[in-house]
Amino acid sequence: MSNGQTASNAAGGATETGHGAPRELHAFIDEIAKCFDVPAEVRQHFVNSRVEFLKAIRAAIDHRIAKLSSKGRPGSKIAVE
């Protein structure tokens, strides 16, 4: 997906920008930047925070996958003729 394109999330209809973050998150951060009339340097901090937010979500997912994988769930035996 290129910049400017959006995709609809099948689970909840949330839209994503070409950057992989929900459009609502971008809009919220952009609105804060406009309200406070921040310079470009501060806007870059907002961009970086988007990236860090997504990394935090990825870390939480990775942690959950590791936790589920380490439980060593026993499989069931199936008789094969």
CA atoms within 13 Å, Cβ hemisphere of 25: 18
pTM: 0.46
Q: Is 26 exposed, middle or buried (0-12, 13-18, 19+ CB in 10 A)?
A: middle
Domain residue ranges in the chain: 20-68
The whole-number pLDDT of residue 20 equals 57
The whole-number pLDDT of residue 59 equals 96
Q: What is the pLDDT along the chain (81 residues), one digit of tens a residue?
A: 444 444 444 444 445 455 556 788 778 878 888 888 888 898 888 888 888 988 999 999 999 999 888 876 677 788 888
Q: Which residues lie closer than 8 Å to 59 by C-beta, 6 or more apart?
A: none
